[in-house]
């Protein structure tokens, strides 16, 4: 499988395995089946109501069309809503263990998912998905047009350590946290912080450690008299303490 190297704002390179074309196609088919089942059920219910009770019998065409469009909203916005809620995954993507991520290392935002969803008109709906297929095959980062525009890629989570695992830090039962505001950080933030901390610490890159400390203090809105390395170590442990006990 191909890999993508994401360079974070702290200049840390992280390698992810790109989702294969087959995985993406199967995930798409699963989502299509779910959407098709929903649309078929909705249409069957409305048609049955028309036949049995005369529902909408005296309505004009535009009113009838409006009812169908409203009923099919979940079909239309399925991908956008689920990717936003499940951080880059639909039911199909969950089944195939793949996820949408930003190639700059940050968590994709609603705007990114919106851009990807909008470009589905070109990528997946025109020429029966042929444009998306060719784009994913020939692009360096296996991106369809929507991914290129949003700055995203689709990675595989199979046989990989998940983000929630990479940030784990061993802490004792009697551990006393010092910075409650670390909960302002996300799992993705902490993954980047820990990766940067460990690499810079090994390389004795104190300039990077100082910059990282400054950024962390800004986000958690707390200052400390501790030296930089112990401070960052406590931040990582505090985050684990609060997230494991939430």
114 class by beta-carbon count within 10 Å (0-12 exposed, 13-18 middle, 19+ buried): middle
DSSP character string of 194-239? HHHHHHHHHHT-HHHHHHHHHHHHHHHT----S-HHHHHHHHHHHH
Secondary structure in 3-state letters for 125-187: CHHHHHHHHHHHHHCCCCCCHHHHHHCEEEEECCCCCCHHHHCCCCCCCCCCCCCHHHHHCCH
Q: What is the pLDDT of residue 89?
A: 94
Q: How far is CA 205 from CA 10, 69, 196, 235, in A?
A: 12, 58, 10, 18
138 class by beta-carbon count within 10 Å (0-12 exposed, 13-18 middle, 19+ buried): exposed
Q: What is the pLDDT of residue 124?
A: 78
CB atoms inside a 10 Å sphere around CB 238: 23
58: three-class secondary structure by DSSP: coil
Q: What is the pLDDT of residue 1?
A: 55
Q: What is the pLDDT of residue 91?
A: 96
CB atoms inside a 10 Å sphere around CB 131: 17
Q: What is the pLDDT of residue 59?
A: 81
Which one, of 87, 55, 89, lies nearest residue 71 by Cα? Answer: 55
DSSP character string of 32-57? HHHHHHHHHHHHHHHHHHHHHH-TTT
Taking the chain (246 residues) in runs of 10, the rounded mean pLDDT of each run is 61 72 94 94 85 76 85 93 93 94 81 94 77 88 92 81 54 83 87 88 90 92 90 90 71
**HSE (side-chain half, CA atoms, 13 Å) at 169:** 22
Q: Report the length, in residues, of the chain.
A: 246
Provide the token pair at 131. 């444009």
Q: What is the pLDDT of residue 10?
A: 46
H-helix or E-strand containing 3?
strand 3-7
Per the CB < 8 A criterion, the answer to whether 98 and 156 are in contact is yes
167 class by beta-carbon count within 10 Å (0-12 exposed, 13-18 middle, 19+ buried): buried
């Amino acid at each position: 499988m191909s890999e993508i190297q994401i360079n974070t704002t702290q200049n840390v390179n992280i390698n992810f395995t790109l989702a294969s074309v087959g995985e993406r196609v199967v995930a798409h088919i699963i989502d299509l089946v779910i959407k098709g089942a929903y649309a078929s059920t909705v249409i069957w219910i409305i048609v049955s109501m028309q036949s049995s009770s005369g529902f909408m019998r005296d309505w004009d065409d535009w009113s009838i069309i409006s009812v169908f469009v409203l009923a099919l909203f979940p079909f239309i916005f399925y991908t956008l809503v689920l990717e936003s809620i499940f951080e880059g995954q639909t039911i199909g993507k969950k089944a195939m263990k793949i996820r949408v991520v930003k190639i700059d290392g940050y968590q994709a935002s609603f705007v990114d998912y919106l851009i990807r969803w909008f470009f589905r008109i070109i990528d997946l709906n025109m020429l029966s998905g042929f444009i998306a297929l060719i784009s994913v095959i020939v692009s360096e980062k296996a991106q369809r047009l929507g991914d290129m525009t949003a700055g995203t890629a689709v990675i595989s989570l199979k046989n990989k350590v998940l983000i929630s695992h990479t940030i784990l830090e061993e802490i004792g039962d009697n551990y006393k946290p010092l910075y409650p505001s670390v909960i302002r950080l996300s799992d993705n933030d902490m993954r980047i912080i820990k990766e940067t901390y460990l690499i810079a610490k090994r390389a004795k890159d104190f300039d990077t450690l100082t910059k990282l400390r400054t950024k962390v203090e800004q986000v958690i809105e707390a200052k400390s008299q501790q030296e930089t390395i112990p401070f960052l170590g406590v931040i990582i442990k505090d985050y684990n303490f609060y997230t494991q006990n939430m």
